[in-house]
Amino acid sequence: MSSRPNLALIGATGAVGTVMRDIVSTREDIWGEIRLVASARSAGKVLRVRGEDVVVQALAPEVFDGIDVAIFDVPDEVSAEWVPIAAARGPVVIDKSGTFRMEPDVPLVVPEVNPLDARNRPRNIISTPNCTTLSMMAAMGALHAGFTLSELVVASYQAVSGAGVAGSARLYDEVEALAGDRSLGQVAGDVRGVLADKLPGESPFPAPIAFNVVPWAGSYKEGGWASEELKLRNESRKILGIPELKVSATCVRVPVITTHSLAVHARFEREITVADAHRVLEAAPSVVLMDDPAGGVFPTPLEVVGNDPTYVGRVRQAVDFPNTLDLFVCGDNLRKGAALNAAEIAELVASEK
């Protein structure tokens, strides 16, 4: 690499791509050229990055020439086709899709937890986890390092922006369609009926999201599991380096625009107290402890959105389970849950030169 490595952002016009442009514009400026890449329909748009106007280029093999690091934020099928093409042309590719996460020869990296894994990339590809997994991983990685995690039971409360721009738009549209009618939500099916009349198009969610919670995120998998639930299990095992970690998750979509929340029941091999957890979490560089429930202090999405750290509160000793803590975690799913983790990996790679 040159003294100022060149960076390409693929999917630069999407929701996460927008956050990524903000992140690389506000973090330490280590990059030479920053090349913005998107689909052919977005080519020619002019977007701001680092205070400069940059013309978006169409995705093509030649856009990777002269690039040292390429960050992909595109659908799985696009990554499956284009990530190998990019990696073969030289840059280290950091892919945010689910395509390569569980491939044994592709590292799955969270810099606070397993930074050394980023160096072992035989295919020139590094994968970054799902936003739900990332929302808790800095906190759980820090606790695991001190007390050896053995079991996780997680309930997620996932923001609609996890379903992309369409998810956020749908919640806003539903709220607008239902606003002002205080009779709604008191009879089964009344909200669904109003939305069917006022918003006849398809929704990214299988049920109304306004005034509601939906116990489903992702696609259907064998045994009645949702794909988001299995991602959390499998990715946690790989990142933490615990192949036999016992994990069970229920993923729920809630009417929040941005920031995922997770209720975590974590069992450890070593004895752990609330004071131990506080000490570890307070020392973790990307974790903010907000834990004074008697004083009304605990993390919520509205306090966390737009911030980079993982926020942790409601830390309790489980009454009926030894060596077990219950805690509540919030993380902005578009920042640390997506763009920031990829940017931090890119910085790790750039520091190797």
Catalytic residues: 131, 260
Neighbours of 181 (CB within 10 A): 11
Count Cβ atoms within 10 A of the Cβ of residue 317 and give its class: 0-12 exposed, 13-18 middle, 19 or more buried.
middle
- The answer to whether the CB of 137 falls within 8 A of the CB of 237 is no
CA distances from residue 202 to 166, 199, 207, 307 in whole angstroms, order as listed: 10, 8, 11, 32
What kind and span of H or E run contains 329?
strand 324-331
189 phi-psi bin (left φ>0, alpha ψ -120 to 50, beta other): left
Amino acid at 109: V
- CA dist., res. 74 & res. 17, Å (int): 9
- Dihedral sign for Cα 289, 347, 48, 11, please: negative
- Tokens standing for residue 37: 């890449």
- The answer to whether the CB of 136 falls within 8 A of the CB of 143 is no
Amino acid at 278: H
Neighbours of 223 (CB within 10 A): 6
- Tokens standing for residue 202: 């398809």
